[in-house]
Chain A
Amino acid sequence: MSDSDFKLTDTQRDHLTAALDRIIPASDRHGLPGAGELGIADFVEELLRANPAQQLGLLPALATFSELIDRCGGVDPAFEQIQEKEPGFVPTLVFHAYSGYYQHPKVMEALGIEPRPPHPQGYEMEPFDPSILDKVRSRGTIYREV
């Protein structure tokens, strides 16, 4: 049962975005944005909307993360501490971050693939060339006669 009214608050969104950027940071060398910067918080929000049961796992830990940011005076120390205080939070977020990030058209393009689903265009491939089997054929049959 989806929860169509669910929406992250501004604070939740900001802090989630900050955590996502710690998980997948931007890289100039690879020409890739950070996961937060790319808007993967929207992907997580949509996921929590479609699967309200997952809100229970994520939102209380996100609230603890927010408290830690206020208390420690910054995202970096809070991100260190949340891994001790709420050991499930970062692994869950890593899974969601990887899922959302690597299906994003911008990331697909940076990986060198067309930013589209596999169907209906598919991919071109060279047809099978039977000459590649010459070596295997030369060994003769290998099954047991009965």
Chain B
Amino acid sequence: MTDDTVDVLIIGAGASGAAFAWSMADTKMNILCLEQGDWVKSDDYPGIGHDWETRQFGDFGLSPNQRGRSEDYPVNDSESPIHASMFNAVGGSTVLYAAHFPRLHPSDFRVRTLDGVADDWPIEYRDLEPYYDLNARMMGVSGMAGDPAYPPKELPLPPLPLGKLGSTLASGFDKLGWHWWPSDSAIISEDYEGRAACINAGTCLLGCPQGAKGSTDVTYWPLAERAGVRLKTRCRVREITVRDDGMADGVIYYDGEGVEHHQKAEIVVMACNGIGTPRILLNSKSKHFPDGLANRSGLVGKRLMFHPYGLVRGIFPEPLEGYKGATGCCIISQEFYESEPSRGFLRGYSFEMLRGMGPVFTAISGMGSGHIPFGSDHHDGYASLWDRTAGMVIICEDLPEEHNCITLDPDLVDSNGIPAPKVNYRLSENSTRMLEHGVARGQEVLAAAGAVDFMTEAPLGVAGWHLMGTARMGEEPETSVVNEWGRSHDVRNLFIIDGSIFPTSGGVNPTNTIQALSLYIADTIKKNLANLFD
């Protein structure tokens, strides 16, 4: 079935697709977004039921392999110590994200110049700064101006509460004289733009029934649709098609009934994330592009960066009320963010504080760590952990390496028969040393805050949630896939706007930067409409 030609066709309705769609809407062009998932309704979320914690082991799991819904595609990550984590729905992975919303630092755009490794970005912090500000207003970001780790920035809403747990952890940083600051969070601390404020319920990683967390189904999408963008759900793209002149002419996709369509478009925009985008490009082979679309550099799928995570939890003698409050958004520390070669590694990491665990997670994680046995000592073990844990994740900058990559699995397919992605990833020596440093410093600061025992995991296997680098941006067609505003070097009406285009990863969560970039790309497209394909 051939559908009518649209002006702009966006694939993927997650963080980047939503921001881009909203921004492009004012052009009044005919804009369509195809999304393989569906809308998630407020009462679909686990947080309203007693079984909310156990649903993370089932239909609201972090891994698409675990959920196994028809709208999820499987990912073969058996050859990676870090496993892919994402969500496929309107809102994409922001449906599950913790909404920690830091920016990159100015130095992150100059990695090669400052530290002699990896690459500089073809743009600078100041290019993105107005788009970070715009994105903060659109997503509803809570936080506190004046963070000494950043150039000045304004945020529209006051910080989320720290609670007893947050203040306890802050005291540890203060004792050591280390940097900390309340997190920039895409969670509204007050009623904002028709959305109700966060009620500190702590189920953020299983979605927010309150709509306080800025997933793009409640931020950008309602506005984009009102402005005329069309969003079709349950539509899974198989490949991008090309004309004889090598330009993209649309996509082939399957609708919810499995019917194949050919959707024609003047401009195709990929927003399927750092795994989904290279997957579809590699699956779009033609006589012009025998190795996959836009892949003359050979870099599509290569240089995958995850941000290796470490986890350090402290066990405290007193209850901390840690089940209250937004799960991932409390405090950030960037004491060890900027490069300092004497530490034994290049580049750096952030600490982000975590709230405590709910009753079921306390039991399951205590079982894993050996703190909570079954049998006669069970209740003593449980009492020593329940509401007495607080800790942090360590988010390490991952340097790009070509052997870390996404390819197409020769056997595994999704429910439409489209080849699944395969992840090959090895932890580098630099990352290993950075993680060791972070775990040791994490224990130090938790001890300063009063912790008496620790639980650690590094790298954190489930933490494949930041997907970057697999179609990098750059000035040279030989060494990059897209230019400095997301346009493919090889196919001039194809744009990529998700985390795939990051040349380097920084040491912070990427979504604010992904969205700022997609807003920047949309604006650049709008400015260049007259000669877009030159």
Q: Tell which of A90, A94, A102 touches B362, judged by Cβ atoms closer than 8 Å.
A: A102
A94-B374, A119-B47 are contacts. A136–B199 as well, Cβ < 8 Å? no
19 contacts between A and B (CB under 8 A): A25-B375, A29-B379, A101-B363, A102-B359, A103-B50, A105-B50, A107-B359, A117-B48, A117-B50, A117-B52, A123-B199, A123-B200, A123-B325, A133-B182, A139-B148, A141-B149, A142-B148, A143-B150, A143-B151
Q: Which residues of B contact A63 (CB under 8 A)?
A: none
Chain A interface size, under 10 / 10 to 19 / 20 to 34 / 35 or more: 35 or more
Q: Which residues of B contact A71 (CB under 8 A)?
A: none
Interface string of B114-125 (1 = CB under 8 A from A): 100000000011
Q: Min CB distance, B398 to chain A, in Å? A: 19
Interface residues of B in 200-231 (CB under 8 A from A): 200-203, 209-210
How far apart sit A98 and B432, CA to CA, in the bound complex (Å)? 33
Q: Min CB distance, B95 to chain A, in Å? A: 15
- The answer to whether A125 touches B200 (Cβ under 8 A) is yes
Q: Tell which of A90, A111, A142, A145 touches B359, judged by Cβ atoms closer than 8 Å.
A: A111
- The answer to whether A132 touches B146 (Cβ under 8 A) is no
- The answer to whether B338 touches A143 (Cβ under 8 A) is yes
Q: Which residues of A contact B106 (CB under 8 A)?
A: 143-146
Q: Which residues of A contact B479 (CB under 8 A)?
A: none
How far apart sit A136 and B175, CA to CA, in the bound complex (Å)? 11
Q: Is A130 an interface residue (CB 8 A)?
A: yes
Q: Which residues of B contact A99 (CB under 8 A)?
A: 53-54, 57, 360, 363-364
How far apart sit A121 and B200, CA to CA, in the bound complex (Å)? 9
- The answer to whether A142 touches B334 (Cβ under 8 A) is yes
- The answer to whether B364 touches A95 (Cβ under 8 A) is yes
Interface residues of B in 122-158 (CB under 8 A from A): 124-125, 144, 146, 148-151, 158
Residue of B nearest to A118 (CB): B201
Q: Is B288 an interface residue (CB 8 A)?
A: no
Interface string of B361-395 (1 = CB under 8 A from A): 01110010000101110110001001100000000
A23-B378, A98-B364, A142-B334 are contacts. A122–B182 as well, Cβ < 8 Å? no
Q: Is B179 an interface residue (CB 8 A)?
A: yes
A117-B50, A119-B201, A122-B201 are contacts. A127–B158 as well, Cβ < 8 Å? yes
Q: Is A72 an interface residue (CB 8 A)?
A: no
How far apart sit A30 and B380, CA to CA, in the bound complex (Å)? 8
How far apart sit A23 and B382, CA to CA, in the bound complex (Å)? 13
Q: Which residues of B contact A139 (CB under 8 A)?
A: 148, 177, 179
Interface residues of B in 49-95 (CB under 8 A from A): 49-54, 57
Q: Min CB distance, B187 to chain A, in Å? A: 12
- The answer to whether B125 touches A128 (Cβ under 8 A) is no
- The answer to whether B324 touches A144 (Cβ under 8 A) is no
Q: Is B170 an interface residue (CB 8 A)?
A: yes
Chain B: residues with Cβ within 8 Å of the partner, total of: 72
Q: Which residues of A contact B144 (CB under 8 A)?
A: 128, 130, 133
- The answer to whether A97 touches B374 (Cβ under 8 A) is yes
How far apart sit A25 and B378, CA to CA, in the bound complex (Å)? 8
Q: Min CB distance, B22 to chain A, in Å? A: 27
Q: Is A10 an interface residue (CB 8 A)?
A: no
Stretch among B23-31, B160-168, B409-417 lining the A interface: B160-168
Q: Min CB distance, A57 to chain B, in Å? A: 14
Q: Tell which of B47, B159, B364 touches A117, judged by Cβ atoms closer than 8 Å.
A: B47
A27-B379, A143-B105 are contacts. A124–B200 as well, Cβ < 8 Å? yes
A117-B52, A135-B174 are contacts. A146–B201 as well, Cβ < 8 Å? no
Q: Is B109 an interface residue (CB 8 A)?
A: yes
Q: Min CB distance, B128 to chain A, in Å? A: 13
How far apart sit A19 and B109, CA to CA, in the bound complex (Å)? 58
Interface string of A15-53 (1 = CB under 8 A from B): 000000011110101101000000000000000000000
Q: Is B110 an interface residue (CB 8 A)?
A: yes
How far apart sit A27 and B377, CA to CA, in the bound complex (Å)? 10
How far apart sit A123 and B372, CA to CA, in the bound complex (Å)? 27
- The answer to whether B359 touches A108 (Cβ under 8 A) is yes
